[in-house]
Structure 1
Amino acid sequence: MDQDRTNASKPRFFTPYSTSDPTLNVPVWVNCLQGEAEFIFPEGAEKQRGRFEVAFSQIGTAVLAGGLYGTLNATYLWKKHGRTDVTARIRYTDWANTVGKRAAFHGQALGTIAVLYSIIGIGVAKTTGVEGEVNILTSATATGALYRMADGYTKLLRGGAIGFGLASIFCLWKNTDKIRYMLDSN
């Protein structure tokens, strides 16, 4: 046992330093659980991520959420309408194909909507300088209308209305404290 310890402290080819080397005896402080994130920001920079930086996480989240919805939808449809007169291997292959197609379809659809929303939001923010609820409502309405534009005017209007409705619900949810304060002050 003592021989293993003495061999471990000797320098070797892949570990040129021994454990008894005094230059490696440096104290280490772990400072990771303090509660607040500490980052170094350049002078004059804001401590909040910009619209362009937020767009990447929104797009990725939308693609993953669409894929999850497609997976759940495909599993439900496969359970409801799947073939039961075949072997388990064929049933599994059928399920995997259905999930793959549905998850990809819904993931791409929601990802496309998120890309459109981000591009329009960045464009509105750069041209008008408006951030906040006005930008969210404008971007969502334009995205809904633009996404359904190829299907005719009625679908275009319906898409814009759906975009405006979802953005309104999000803005109301985001500002519940302000709304409560306004209602309590009367």
Structure 2
Amino acid sequence: MSENNEYKGFRSLLSSRSKEPELDANAPFAGAGIFGYDPRVLQQVQREDQYILPEGQAHKRGRFEMAFTQIGGGCLSGGILGGTLGMRSGMQYVSGKELPKSVRNTQILNHVTKMAAEKGQAFGIIALMYSIFGVVVECRYSPLSQFENDDLNSVTAGTLTGLLFKCTGGLRSSLIGGGVGLGIAGLARLVYRELK
């Protein structure tokens, strides 16, 4: 093969002597391949967060944005608490019995798994209800709306969550649950204010 021939074989692709074609800014990108995008576009993207906000307003995360972390945190913290309690109850269950090691380990693991799932689900449901009530209370068109006051919104959502969560036990149980929800939400808001 001669040097002037256009095709130089596979080695010409790997050699450092090959020239890179100059890019014309107005020409369409021909190397898009199967993905169908121009990588030059990604270089123009700014690396900072961009939000469309009214002029002069700072970005503040709303209730709906925070709901996902609250629900996930509720499930995880409930699972950790349940796993710890399950480990304790599993160890107490097998402590006085003469069982083979594999049976003891299986019993402990069963206790851990069952308690972690129960507590994780319960905490996740409470966090879900709290988030739903928080979004509804914050909604401008809600009759419960106090959307300017985050403390009042949180305490209202906590109280409603406690009332609903324990409503299957009767009126007395529901009122106790509402009081517990009010106390926990109030304490959480006090801690949040101190940390802020």
User: TM-score, normalised to structure 1's length?
Assistant: 0.73
Q: Does 1:171 align with 2:151?
A: no
Q: Does 1:41 align with 2:42?
A: no
For 1:129-148, what aligned pairs fall within 5 Å after superposition?
Answer: 129-130=146-147, 131-148=149-166
Q: Pick from 48, 60, 65 the counterpart of residue 77 of structure 2.
A: 65
Equivalent residue for 1:100? 113
Higher helix proportion: 1
Larger radius of gyration between Structure 1 and Structure 2: 2
Equivalent residue for 1:110? 123
CA distance in 2, matches of 1:133, 1:96: 41
Q: Which stretch of structure 1 is more off in the superposition, 127-136 or 51-60?
A: 127-136
Return closer, same or farther for 1:90/1:124 CA change in 2, 3 Å cut-off: same
Return closer, same or farther for 1:20/1:162 CA change in 2, 3 Å cut-off: farther
Deviation digits for residues 155-177 of structure 1 (CA, Å, limit 9, x no counterpart):
11110111111111112112237
Q: Which stretch of structure 1 is more off in the superposition, 72-81 or 133-142?
A: 72-81
Equivalent residue for 1:119? 132
Return closer, same or farther for 1:149/1:18 CA change in 2, 3 Å cut-off: farther
Return closer, same or farther for 1:162/1:41 CA change in 2, 3 Å cut-off: same
Question: Which consecutive unaligned segments of at least 5 residues does structure 1 have?
Answer: 1-10, 24-36, 179-186
- Matched residue of 2:48: which SS? coil
Contact 2:53 2:59 in 1 (8 A): no
How far does residue 117 in structure 1 lie from its aligned partner after superposition?
0.4
- Matched residue of 1:68: which SS? helix
CA distance in 1, matches of 2:53, 2:15: 43
Give the residue type in structure 2 aligned to 1:103: A
RMSD: 2.6
How far does residue 146 in structure 1 lie from its aligned partner after superposition?
0.6
Which ranges of 4 or more aligned residues in structure 1 deviate by more than 6 Å?
19-22
How far does residue 96 in structure 1 lie from its aligned partner after superposition?
1.3
User: TM-score, normalised to structure 2's length?
Assistant: 0.70
CA distance in 2, matches of 1:88, 1:17: 61
Equivalent residue for 2:168? 150
Q: Does 1:162 align with 2:180?
A: yes
CA distance in 2, matches of 1:19, 1:94: 65
Say how many residue pairs are matched: 154
